[in-house]
Structure 1
């Protein structure tokens, strides 16, 4: 009892409690500030251990010394006078209460304000949304709980002193996403959707709700000369709480080992739902500058539009520096393949170059999924449809989470009139990438073909809102033609002219001149005369789509069969709606089918849905109405 009384007299208990309160406050402050400084989570843990280790010293000092107005003085013992002891006790009590209140206030600030607004403690990096992305609105929550084997990877924040390193932060995040997407059993949300949500600073809970995933991987990158620090954390989307976090300091030359280490750590953190997984990352190049050019070029490629030209230039520089860099050849092939959608005049040259680049990539790495997917579209454009399908199925075996390859598989089915199979592929690509306009838009197109007009309108308008503007407007025009509202049809036609970037300025006057025929059959002869003159003046342009919209079926068949420069295979994707029935029933449609390799494909995989293909001596396609 005497010892207990002496401990109280010397304020040892009060000093110990005050130190614990101070430690609690310091740890909360560290949790708030250390991520902003790029310090790893273990730094907070080390601080906590250091504070705990100093606690016995604080207790010993409070036993040996007394705090007075003149500073610390040695305690004279139990029999000595100690007039300031009670005042010191009051001050320690007040200090402890103040520290506890401050700690509680900061804990509340973090939990109820910062975690909900930006749970990862990093300012979101702003960027222009690529084509196909747009401001994301909230959708209905998933009907079922998210699969515990599902994940979204956000674009990493660039904390480097140089803002231009944003490409590196985003590129490393995408590389890690691609590695994780190849893990068997793990569903990884597509880049388009997850990066768009990061740009809008949504919480992990909201990201999980919109993408239907159970986990979110977020992080930041800080580059200083040739060293990088990558801080990452895996968050439970249901609770908004971190499951695992760490920081990695590496030389840029170790970037592939870094990607493997982070991906392996994520797989280990998800070991329970996934089972044991071993991650391997191929060292794609030893040329750091070639890799940097590749990341910058691929970032621009995702933005499409005017970014494609600089993307091509950067990727060409990358493969020039390292001709053995297969991934850069594949990215270059993809860039060259999509360029005709934005630069129709360069179509023929671009397709040939895409063919060469994809072949080079596969020579270097035969199982490179991106190159296989590009190669499949090239084969489809050339009428080699069995080859196209086989290449895409092989690509999806290698990368089952690739929404773009899944969408291309849907297009391969749609071109052959296999609308049910196309709809299934588009539904899956939409599930993988729910905030990309192209996937929800093509899903709407198949609904229109099936006569599900309400769903078609909803999905096409959402695709348009998400950036898939030109094609969505074309399908919405088909939807209007399906009805009898001339005013809406005229408005939809003008929307299509406004939105479709594939229509060159030089031919827009012809489109406007033909507009009356879209709603008035009596105007078709004048429209036909205008179009025949336009074909003579602009022979490199494909007028088939405009002729179909104007109801000029015979002219559209002739135009589709007229030799002209390659401009991308969009015709077969657009002719399976009810309003195109006359085109498909035309006696010369068989020539179009033969040109695109369809009869052989139908013989192997079945005729278009609801149709019968009759071969020689009178080849024709007969479809129910």
Structure 2
């Protein structure tokens, strides 16, 4: 056969034999060096593909080099050299593959995210267990030096896997992602894991583990150890974790408690408390169950679902028990900080939270609670609160509760646009948070963007999910001057049956003259300062000035620390009532105190349209027209549009008489009319739908 003879003459067959032998050796070496998992199999297939493609390419090159009748030893040597060069290129591909995609000891990884494991159990009712095991593995990795571990809330936000691994890595700022699944059958579990390089999308480690339920704690240690061997093989340090309970049942109930506590709604918190109590009954010496019990009690009390004093006593007992069992449990110190914050002991709260952060610097919840403490602590203020909340968000960028509090502080500092942007970004990321939509609409209302508030509430599930959204809708309509529409929303059956009256509902009721509805709601789970404030307004409107003053005095005594805007507003109302009763000297004394509080608050960073309007009332009441005008202009420029509400508040009549008020009022009314035109059809249609 002439073509075989020609290939032989040109040295192609000899070169092919050398190439095939060398390629076979390379593939064998690759099989022994690459990891025995799917990633390794992918890499080996790539090397074989390169070898196959390289074979005809090398044959063509040798054929062309062998063209002609001569050749001799020189051409034979060249053809052999070409075969060697081809094999060398193949070896280079192997080296690059192993170096770039294999989990070698010198590969640097700086951050890892532990995604929630999927529940593949037949009954599909063990998601809490899958989440708990994922969280415990995370807790064991947090103390690896140089390794940043994404916070639970941020990593668990990707439960639906709506993003690919590379996108998750970019959002969470990590280069490794651990994903997995849990399958429970009887008293055994199987955990299958994949550790993926988020920069390349390649797996760097896989593992499958089987264990009985009583061996689950040792299994968590084993898994974490294997991950550390890949991520930081020279590192032997692991995070210290709380002592495990004496039985799996206690641990299982604890995980069920935490699973429900993370949801933060009332029904889930009630279930969480039950599970924590059951866990404690199984193993009274498991400290984390006691901290979970305390946290649940305090959040339920804050929501008005537990008597505050009883909750404080029971929470304190649980926290002290946890600290006696494990003095180095960071969560217990964080719970103590939350308790002191709830009690109003802000100095003690800060000390406890800083101790929690000394033990566990990555505790984003402790950072958040520290921010809330700084907001209300004497000598603190919104700037220090912002610093703590930004630290919390850096650790846990996907936690909606942290973002909600951060947005609130940004708004208090006068950064209305930034606070609104934070909430829009949170909603755009698909994070499930009913509160985000309601707070976004609230901030739009506060900063004069009432049309946006209507759109936000209409486009979200806020109008159907609960009374807060509908109350805020009524409040926004009232601010837009649409009293009849607001009254329709206020008198809807579901709002009247609500156990707690929200502030927007009370505002809307007062603006629209729904005094009977307001009286019914006054003492319905409202804090004393709010109930007395609105009782005073009703007495004022009814002409009973003495009763109004008595209520305003009670409200002033009960205003919580960290709310200078409300304190100054109440002070203006008290001064107006005193003047109406002929006690001008006492009125001036209260106004001077309010002026100083305003100056201190502005110096601390407070800057909202509502605060500036309240200060305008104080200055006008003191006769400082220039000062009142400056504050009023600043309020209107920033977005103050609450003219309907202000007309019914004692003291605001003083502002009406200052020079330039009429022009500013026209600016506000014209803007309100413009905004209403843009949303009138949408709001009217929603109201018609409500009546059906």
Q: The TM-score by the shorter chain falls in which range?
A: 0.5 to 0.7
Residue of structure 2 equivalent to 1:375: 336
Counterpart pick for 1:445 among 394, 408, 424: 408
| Partner Cα distance (1:279, 1:176) in 2 | 10
1:480 is the counterpart of 2:480: no
Distance 2:249 2:300 in 1: 25
Which residue of the partner structure matches residue 331 of structure 1?
292
CA contact (8 A) 2:556 2:570 kept: no
Q: Is the 8 A contact 1:448 1:479 kept in 2?
A: no
1:265 deviates by 2.3
Cα pair distance change 1:385/1:184, threshold 3 Å: farther
* Partner SS, residue 339 of structure 1: helix
How far residue 174 of structure 1 moved from its aligned partner, in angstroms, is 1.1
How far did 1:438 drift? Answer: 1.7
1:238–1:363: structure 2 CA closer, same or farther, 3 Å change rule? same
- Give the Å deviation of 1:220: 1.9
Partner of 1:542: 527
- Unaligned 5+ segments in structure 1 are 1-7, 36-40, 49-146, 563-569, 589-606, 613-620
RMSD: 4.8
Segments of 5+ residues of structure 2 without an aligned counterpart are 1-12, 46-107, 473-494, 538-547, 576-599, 606-614, 620-626, 632-692
1:327-362 CA deviation, whole Å, 9 max, x = no partner? 111122222222234553554433432222122111
* Equivalent pair of 1:189/1:433 in contact (CA under 8 Å): yes
With 175-184 and 450-459 compared, the bigger mean Cα shift is at: 175-184
1:303 paired with 2:263, answer yes
Change (3 A) 1:422 1:472: farther
Q: Specify the SS of the correspondent of 1:198.
A: coil
Question: What is aligned with 2:275?
Answer: 314
Cα distance in 1, alignment partners of residues 207 and 184 from structure 2: 17
Q: Cα deviation per residue 1:601-624 (whole Å; 9 max; x = unaligned)?
A: xxxxxx767159xxxxxxxx9999
Q: Which residue of 1 aligns with 2:394?
A: 431
How has the CA–CA distance of structure 1 residues 201 and 476 changed in structure 2, closer, same or farther, with 3 Å as cutoff? closer
Q: Secondary structure at the match of 1:541?
A: coil
| SS of equivalent residue, structure 1 residue 344 | coil
Mapped to 1, the partners of 2:325 and 2:294 lie a distance apart of 14
Matches within 5 A, 1:16-95: none
Q: RCO (CA 8 Å, sep 6+): is it higher in 1 or 2?
A: 1
CA distance in 2 between counterparts of 1:215 and 1:551 reads 59
Q: Distance in 2 between matches of 1:583 and 1:471?
A: 29
- C-alpha change, 1:473 and 1:165, in structure 2 (3 Å) is closer
Q: Write the deviation string for residues 102-146 of structure 1: whole angstroms up to 9, x where unpaired.
A: xxxxxxxxxxxxxxxxxxxxxxxxxxxxxxxxxxxxxxxxxxxxx
1:581 deviates by: 5.0
Aligned to 2:544: none
SS in 2 for 1:222: strand
Q: What's the CA shift for 1:263? A: 1.8
Q: Out of 387, 401, 422, which is 1:459 matched to?
A: 422
- C-alpha separation between the residues in 2 aligned to 1:583 and 1:611? 20
- Equivalent of residue 498 in structure 2, options 500, 505, 510: 505
Match of 1:559 among 545, 552, 555: 555
* Cα deviation 1:218-263 (Å, max 9, x = unaligned): 1222333333332223211111112222223333222222222222
For the 8 Å contact 1:156–1:218, the answer to whether it is kept is yes
**Alignment partner of 1:164: what SS?**
coil
8 Å contact 2:114–2:155 — kept in the other structure? Answer: yes
Question: Does the 8 A contact of 1:208 with 1:215 survive in 2?
Answer: yes
- In the alignment, the residues of structure 1 paired with residue 350 and residue 506 of structure 2 have an alpha-carbon distance, to the nearest angstrom, of 40
Are 1:152 and 2:145 counterparts?
A: no
Question: How far apart, CA to CA, are the structure 1 residues paired with 2:126 and 2:521?
Answer: 49
Distance 2:256 2:406 in 1: 31
Q: Which is richer in helix?
A: 2
Report the counterpart of residue 403 of structure 1 in structure 2: 364
The question of whether the paired residues in 2 share the 8 Å contact of 1:463 and 1:472 is answered with: no
Q: Which secondary structure does the structure 2 equivalent of 1:163 belong to? A: coil
Asked if structure 2 preserves the Cα contact closer than 8 Å seen for 1:308 and 1:339, the reply is yes
User: CA 1:349/1:443 → structure 2, altered by over 3 Å: closer, same or farther?
Assistant: same
Deviation, 1:185, is: 3.7
Q: Secondary structure at the match of 1:304?
A: coil
Matches within 5 A, 1:2-21: none
Is 1:168 the counterpart of 2:129? The answer is yes
Asked if the contact 1:153/1:177 (under 8 Å) is kept, the reply is yes
Shift in Å, 1:173: 0.5
Matches within 5 A, 1:179-190: 179-190=140-151
Contact persistence 1:234–1:245 (CA under 8 A): yes
Separation of aligned partners in 1, 2:574 and 2:375: 21
What is the TM-score normalised by the length of structure 2?
Answer: 0.56
The equivalent of 1:111 in structure 2 is none
Say whether 1:515 aligns with 2:511.
Answer: no
Give the C-alpha shift of residue 392 in structure 1. 0.7
Asked if structure 2 preserves the Cα contact closer than 8 Å seen for 1:471 and 1:500, the reply is no
Task: List per-residue Cα deviations over 1:3-32 (Å, max 9, x = no partner).
Answer: xxxxx9xxxx9xx9xx99xx9xx99xx99x
User: How many angstroms apart in 1 are the aligned matches of 2:521 and 2:329?
Assistant: 44
